[in-house]
Structures are given as structure tokens and as C-alpha cells.
Amino acid sequence: MGLSEAEQRVRADAHAWFDDHRDEFVSTLVDWVRIPSVSRADLAEPGAPFGREVARMLDAIARTAESSGLEVCSHDGYAVSVRHGAEDREIGLISHIDVVPAGDGWHFDPFEPTVRDGYVIGRGVRDNKGAALLDVSLLRFFRDRGHPLRCGLRVILGGAEETGMADMEHYVRTARVPEVSLVTDGFFPVNHVQHGRIAVEVRLPWSPAAGVLSTDGTTNSVPARARARFEDADVVAGLERILRLGETPRDGVQAHREGEALVVEAEGMAGHPAFPGSTVNAVAVLAEFVLRSGALSGTDRLVADLLARLLGDQYGVGAGLDRTDDSGRLTLNGGALECRDGELHLTMTIRHPVRQEARDILRQLDTLVAPLGGAVEELSIVPPHVVPADDPIVELLRATFDDATGATTRPMAMGGGTHARVVPNSHTFGPGLFTDQAIEYAARRQAGFLPAGHGDPHGPDECVAIDNLRMAFGIYAVALTRLDELTRLDELARLDEVVR
């Protein structure tokens, strides 16, 4: 159908406003990314439930918004909201400002952002501080340019999306929830299905002679490095033999002596476990190397083989856990590994398609672990999040993207989870470009100066193209205008029914 003349003017005006404020936008984004706002509930303090750095980030957002003359409200250190316009009905823009740890493998400083060739590189620029800044900027745009909206706009930015979404759970319990919201933490054209998520701890027997294995990873990133320290003389000899012969299974294995001990470090490729792409789990690299050496025997060797099969691909194929339906493909990640009390403890997250049962997957995992004397401890099960593809707001958002770009798309499913799981009547809408149909309309593709596997969320050298955020800014301006139209008196009953 295309945009109406009025909508074309709104989009063009949004682009003009963005262009006028581009330098300011980039400077603010750089300042925000300098704050290493990794959510740490274990470092909670009064007024800072996710640690000092998240609290600093929320304060920085409040200062940015207040300096622009916007109304700001703090929500007990869990989130901050910024609003503009009418108060009787509101449209929300929801995002998060916490980030995953930097991890290894960066060519650029993760928390001293680099601006190059129209890109910004730093942890959180795509997930999700760039989008959070777009949200605040949209309030300024509608205020500055005087485009009338019946609804008020409320931006809600949380501090713990990467670690369980306690931020928005608190907000929903204690504060006003907008009548309808856009979660700006996903992909265009519009997301309507998010896979179920299973978190488990796998415990496997492991003798002291087999070494001490560990990662610095988190459950929400594919680990880029795994480390092992071996002290048993026979094991050390076997490992050194394969190192001399150059028979490592993949690049990225290094070793050095520490007295009589041998320390082996394996390098993978970090990234978001819901979108594993070119990621490589360093635990699998380490396990394959140890297996190739022939240094382990008995149960230790069987356990190393299971680790290699379980984590050697991101889809569970090697371990017989692969599942697929029309909502997509299962993904899995073993992000955190440590030795404790004569066992290996591997924390895993499995994201499964909608029509697959979590209990069936857990039973299959148990059949792999139990014969070795191991156990699977269930940590959490989160069911899939599904909004029908023909939902009126889903259709409105899909059509908005298509009308703005000329694309022909349909709502998309993904393994990632967003605040749409928590906030009533919210829909994940951009600003990323995921499907082939959407990527075709990207203003800028991935930065050519980054090596393969770099630039993605949760990975090394996370990178965003400012031109892509500019494109999203125009699409959001039109989408908010269309959502606002739903508040006409003869539409209120239908919208209320959607909310319920």
C-alpha cells in the first residue's frame, strides 16, 4: 500500500531531525557505552539492585533526558522511564541498558567506543543502547516538531534484561504499564514468536587427574575462551605430544608450563547463543583437543567426548538434541563451566521451537548424562512466547515496515527473548534486520573492516551502523503515528480487547 502523504512527511521530518542531531546522538551513545553496565544482582546495593554500573547507566539516561526537558521517573533502581505528552493513554517504548560482559577476542576497546566510517563499535551499541537512545530521541522529535499525538509516549529502560528480566517484572508490578508498547530490542519486520528456554546445570564426574576446566563465560554468551590446568604427569605428556605433532583439532589452542603443570587455553568465537551463526564454543575446542591427545581414559574420556558432541555445534546435532519446526531450530549453549567437588558443572541454556516439549528435551539430555554417572538439574523453564501472526498490532507493525521500505515480509520467529515476555500488550519491533527480506533494505551492511564473526551482539567488536538506526528512527515515527490512530473513540473498544 505504501505510506500516505502525511506519513511520508512524518518519516521525512524524522530523518531531518535525526540528521540535525546526528553528532549529538553519536556522542551520547559513546558516553553511554563507556559505562560497563553489566547487570550484577550479586553486587546489589541499596537503590542499585543490579550493581553500581547499572545504577550509573540509569543515572546517565536520566541526566540525558532531563537536560532535554523531558519528564523522568526512577523506578527503585530497576528501571527509568521518560515521558512526553498526554497522560490518559500512553504508548510505550521499551528497551534495556544492561549489557553482557565484554568477553575476549576484541580488536577494539569494548568500553572505549570507536567511531569509524559511520559505525560505532563497543559493547552494547546494538544490544541495546543504540535502540534505547533512539527511544528517548523519538520523544524529543515528537515534542520538537509538534506532530500531534492523542497518546502520551513513555520510554521505559530496564537494567536486567540480559539476566532474567527482573527489571521489567518489578516495573510491571509497581508502575503504570502503557496501553500498548513497542519493545525496541529485536528485529524488523516484527517478531511474534520467541522460543521456549530451558536452563540447566549438568553435573558430570571428573577425576583430579583429568585437570581443572573452566570458562569466564556467562549463560547468555557463547564462551570465547576455555582454560584447563593439568598436573598429572601422564596426561601432561600426552597433551605435549599432540602439541609437538601439531595435531590440534582446530586453531586456537595454546599451552604453557607453570612448573610441573600444563595450562591449556582454547579460543572459540563469542556471540549471542540465540543467533549462533559463526560462533564456536571454546569448551568444545578444548574437549576435542584433549580427546585427540589420547591422554584421558575411562569415564573422563567419555565425559570429554560428551562435551565435544554436546557443544561442538550450536543446534544439538552432535548430541541428538536437534529439533526444528516452522518456528525455527533449537539452539543450545554451554556458557559457564567449572570443576567443583570432583565434578564438572556445566550451565546450559537450550532455546527450543514452539511445538517441541521442554520435558522431552530434558529427558533426552538425561539419557546422555545418566550413563556416565552424571545428573541434570533443572534451573528454569520458560515457555514460548507466541502472538498470532494475524494479531491487529502485529499486522499493523509488519505493514508499517513493508510500507516504509517496499519490502514484502511476514512476522518472524526467533530464539531470543525480550521484554515482550513480561510487559502486557507489548510487541518486539526492530531495530535490527534479521530475515533476508528485511536485510535487503538495510541502509548499511556489516562493517567491512571487521573480521568474519565480529560485530554481532554478544560477540567481539559489537558494531552498529548509525545509518541503520536512522532508518529505524523514521520507521518508528510512522509506527507510533499509526498506533496513535487506534485511540480514536470508535477504536477504543477494539484496543481494550487486545489489551485484555
Distance (Å, rounded) from C-alpha 208 to C-alpha 341? 10
Higher pLDDT, 474 or 491: 474
Residue with the bigger pLDDT between 437 and 33: it is 33
Average pLDDT (301-330) is 94
Q: Tell me the three cell numbers of residue 409.
A: 515480509
Percentage of the chain modeled with pLDDT above 90: 81
Q: What is the pLDDT of residue 490?
A: 37
* 395/411 Cα distance (integer angstroms): 8
Tell me what the mean pLDDT of segment 189-199 comes to: 97
Show the cell assigned to 233.
Answer: 604427569
489 pLDDT above the threshold of 80:
no
Cis amide leading into 128 (omega within 30): yes
Question: Where do we find the cell 540509569?
Answer: 58
Set of cell numbers at residue 388 = 498470532
Residue 498 has pLDDT above 60, yes or no: no
462 in Cβ contact with 123 (< 8 Å): yes
More confident residue, 205 or 208: 205
Contacts of 369 (CB under 8 A, 6+ apart): 202, 204, 306, 375, 376
Q: Whole-angstrom Cα distance, residue 331 to residue 443?
A: 29
- Fold adopted by 5-195+385-499: Aminopeptidase (3.40.630)
Taking the C-alpha atoms of residue 153 and residue 132, their distance in angstroms, rounded to an integer, is 14
Which residues, 6 or more positions from 90, have their beta carbon under 8 angstroms from its beta carbon?
Answer: 83, 151, 152, 153, 154, 176, 178, 179
Based on C-alpha coordinates, what's the Rg of the chain? 24
The answer, yes or no, to whether residue 495 has pLDDT greater than 70, is no
Average pLDDT, the chain: 93
Give me the mean pLDDT over the 361-389 stretch: 96
CA atoms of 342 and 258, how far apart (whole Å): 22
Distances (CA, A) of 85 to 88, 152, 182, 376, 378: 9, 4, 17, 51, 46
Mean pLDDT value across residues 373-398? 96
The answer to whether residues 469 and 461 touch, using CB atoms and an 8 Å cutoff, is: no
- Model confidence pLDDT, tens digit, residues 152-166: 999 999 999 999 999
Helices (H) and strands (E) in the chain, counts: 13, 24
Q: Is omega for the bond preceding 371 within 30 degrees of 0, making it cis? A: no
Instruction: Say which range, 18-27, 136-145, 269-278, has the weakest mean pLDDT.
Output: 269-278
pLDDT at 496 over 60: no
State how far the Cα of 131 lies from the Cα of 133, in Å rounded to an integer.
5
Confidence (pLDDT) at 294: 87
Amino acid at 119: Y
Q: What is the CATH number of domain 196-382?
A: 3.30.70.360
State the cell numbers at 367.
Answer: 539419557
Quote the strand ranges of 353-472, DSSP E. 375-382, 385-386, 412-414, 426-428, 431-433, 463-465
| Segments making up each domain of the chain, as ranges | 5-195+385-499, 196-382
Within 258-406, residue ranges assigned H as helices are 282-293, 298-311, 358-369, 392-405
CA nearest 273: which of 351, 367, 386?
A: 351
Predicted confidence band of residue 27 (pLDDT cuts 50, 70, 90): very high
Asked whether residue 500 carries a pLDDT value surpassing 50, the answer given is no
pLDDT at 438: 85
Rounded Cα–Cα distance for residues 360 and 492 (Å): 43
Is the N-terminal amide bond of 189 cis, ω within 30° of 0? yes
pTM of the shown model: 0.92
Is residue 53's pLDDT more than 60?
A: yes
Judge whether 98 and 35 are in contact, CB under 8 Å. Answer: no
